[in-house]
Amino acid sequence: MLLPILRWPDPRLSVRCDPAVLDDGLRALAADMLETMYAAPGRGLAAPQVGHLLRLFVMDATWKEGTPAPQVFVNPEIVDLLGDPVVGPEGCLSIPGPVTQVARAPSVRMRWTALDGQAQDQVLTGFAAICVQHEYDHLDGILTLDHLSVEARAKAEAEVLA
C-alpha cells in the first residue's frame, strides 16, 4: 500500500522517534514503506516520513542501477563514523526541490535488527553509508536543512516554499 509522504515543515519530521517493536504490524509497515520508496522514486525512506514516529527505515542503495537490494533497519544504531567527512549532494523525499550539500562520514559501522529478527553489525560504505546517515538523522528528527549554514538553509527553504 502506498503511504503519503510527509513534507517539511510538518512537525512530525522534527521529532525524536521511539524504539520500534518487531511484530506483524511493523513488518507490514516496512513492506508499505519499501513500496512507497520505490514509487516515489527514492533510495531510502524513514518511518517518520510516513507519519510513524518509530526507529525504522528502509533502503535500497542499488535498485536504480538495476540490482534491487531492499533492506529494512529496525532500531538502528550508529556504532562508529569512519573517515574524514566528505561533502556531497543530498535530496530528501520530504523536502522536494533543493539538493543540499551535507558533510557525511564515508563509512559507518551500524547495528540494527533485520526484518527476520537477526541482529546485524556491518560497516557500510559508498552511497549506502551516506544514505543510512541521512535516514538515521530522520529518526532523531534531523533533516538535511539542519546541517546547513544559516544562509544555505534560507536559500533551500525559499526553494521548497516557492
156 binds Zn ion (CB under 5 A): no
Residue nearest to Zn ion (CB): 92
The residue (of 116 and 129) whose beta carbon lies closer to Zn ion is 129
- Which H helix or E strand runs over 27? helix 24-39
Instruction: Give catalytic status of residue 35 as yes or no.
Output: no
User: What is the smallest separation between the CB atom of 92 and Zn ion, expressed in angstroms?
Assistant: 3
CB of 44 to Zn ion, least distance (A): 7
Q: Give me the 84-103 binding string for Zn ion, x by CB under 5 A, dash otherwise.
A: --------x-----------
Residue 147: what are its φ and ψ, rounded to 5°?
-90, -5
Q: Considering beta carbons, is residue 72 or 92 the nearer one to Zn ion?
A: 92
Total residues in contact with Zn ion, by rule CB under 5 A: 1
* CA neighbor of 129 nearest in space, from 68, 63, 80: 80
Catalytic annotation, pick one of 35, 135, 151, 157: 135
By C-beta, is 112 or 136 nearer to Zn ion? Answer: 136
Nine-digit cell at 40? 516515489
Distance separating alpha carbons of residues 17 and 75, to the nearest angstrom: 10
Question: CB neighbours (10 Å) of residue 94?
Answer: 24
Please provide residue 78's backbone torsions phi and psi, each rounded to the nearest 5 degrees: -85, 115
* CB closer to Zn ion, 21 vs 64: 64
Distance CA 119, CA 74 (A): 9
Q: Does 56 bind Zn ion (CB under 5 A)?
A: no
Task: Pick the closest to residue 123 from 103, 142, 109 (CA basis).
Answer: 109
Residue 151 grid coordinates: 544562509
**Binding marks (x or -) toward Zn ion, 20..39, rule CB under 5 A?**
--------------------
Q: Which residues here bind Zn ion, judged by CB under 5 A? A: 92
Annotated active-site positions, please?
A: 135
